[in-house]
Amino acid sequence: MRVYKRAGNAVVVVVLIMSVVLSACSSSSGAREKVRLGEVARTIFYAPQYVALSQGFFADEGLDVELQTTAGGDKTMTALLSGVIDVALVGSETSIYVYQQGADDPVINFAQLTATDGTFLMARNKQDTFEWNDLKGKAFLGQRKGGMPQMAGEFTLRKHHINPHEDLELIQNIDFANIASAYASGTGEYVQLFEPQASIFEQEGKGHVVASFGVESGKLPYTAYMSKGSFLKKHPSTAQKFTNALYKAQLWVADNSTERIAEAILPYFKDADRNIVIRAVQRYKEQGSYASDPSFDQEEWSNLLDVLRTAGELKQDVAIDKLVDNQYAEHAQTNVK
């Protein structure tokens, strides 16, 4: 009887130990804070973000980031303002639009991902030499009016003495998500595209990259992470953890080869050829499109305002400290190694 009793006690002890272990594991898993992130597009332009996900940098910070693609700046901002997502990855100009509308709860930029325009000018026919004047009188398939790709594109065209609304046949009635397919079906002689679509079309013989709007338009806080001011006030530690993870990814991208970066982000581009992903990463790295750190600077912000002003979308100058909170980026740069 005593043998059975001791055996029974041993079983009870084992069960209790296992319960504690499982409870601890469950608690640890449940401790991760869920963050709903909406990206304006799925593009290799956002490589550091996919690195942060694939290399576990968000998880290491105790975050469970749920990524969804909300194609188009207007849709992404609507999702943020309506509470469908917590954090938006979208052009900084959208925060200015919300501010200009007199929002009681302004949208605040807290971490920068990209530092240039990410689009490339593609010509349908191969050109041995390209001059910007070649665009005059041609059908140009542009981006959405008021969106950063279109405004940065127009900024570049005007710099080369081309009035996009007078010197081109400007096509702007195609939804952002359908621009590539419209070009593939024969719409436009020139188009403005992100990677990897530009490289895919080159491989398929549907067009040829002749210029980079990122190189031409200069440094910009082109794409950034932002949240409503109320969210940041309520969840400052979440924003800090998020920014820490991003900075880890930015350092990782800076320290690793294009091939290794491509391998890290391939799960997010399952239908893309590995060589195309490598080529696209290389293009963005060479022109400095990936921000080296999450902070915003005054020169980039001023350039952004110039782009909006040139496009006629800026109602008033907006000081950087109105819509940018650099404290998370500065803390990350000081403490993340």
Lowest mean pLDDT among 108-112, 147-151, 183-187, 305-309: 147-151
What is the pLDDT at residue 10?
A: 43
Give the pLDDT band (50/70/90) at residue 14. Answer: very low
**Signed CA dihedral, 71, 73, 75, 79: sign only:** positive
Residue type, 305: L
Task: Give the per-residue pLDDT at 72.
Answer: 84
Please tell me the predicted confidence (pLDDT) of residue 148.
84
Q: CA 250 to CA 81: how far, in whole Å?
A: 27
The 10 Å Cβ neighbour count of residue 55 is: 17
Q: In angstroms, what CA-CA distances link 108 with 54, 103, 207, 222? A: 26, 12, 38, 14
pLDDT in tens, 237-280: 999 999 999 999 999 999 999 999 999 999 999 888 999 999 99
Q: Hey, which bits of the chain come out as E strands?
A: 33-39, 63-69, 87-90, 107-114, 120-123, 139-141, 169-171, 190-193, 208-212, 223-228
Bridge pairing between strands 208-212 and 120-123? antiparallel
Domains in the chain (CATH in brackets) are 33-116+220-335 (3.40.190.10), 120-217 (3.40.190.10)
Q: Look at residue 176 in the predicted model and tell me its pLDDT.
A: 81
The model's pLDDT over 156-211, given as tens digits with 9 standing for 90+, comes to 999 999 999 999 999 988 888 899 999 999 999 999 999 989 999 999 999 999 99
Is pLDDT at 17 greater than 90 in this prediction? no
Look over the chain and give the mean of its residue pLDDT values, rounded to a whole number: 90
pLDDT of residue 4 exceeding 80, the answer is: no
Contact yes or no for 42/176 (Cβ under 8 A) = no
Residue 19 confidence class, pLDDT cut points 50, 70, 90: very low
Confidence of residue 30 (pLDDT cuts 50, 70, 90): low
Q: Write down the pLDDT at residue 250.
A: 98
Count helices and strands in the chain by DSSP H and E runs: 16, 10
53-100 pLDDT, tens digit each: 999 999 999 999 999 999 888 899 999 999 999 999 999 999 999 999
Whether residue 332 is predicted with pLDDT greater than 90 in this model: the reply is yes
Residues belonging to the chain: 337
Measure the CA–CA gap between 126 and 258, rounded to whole angstroms.
27
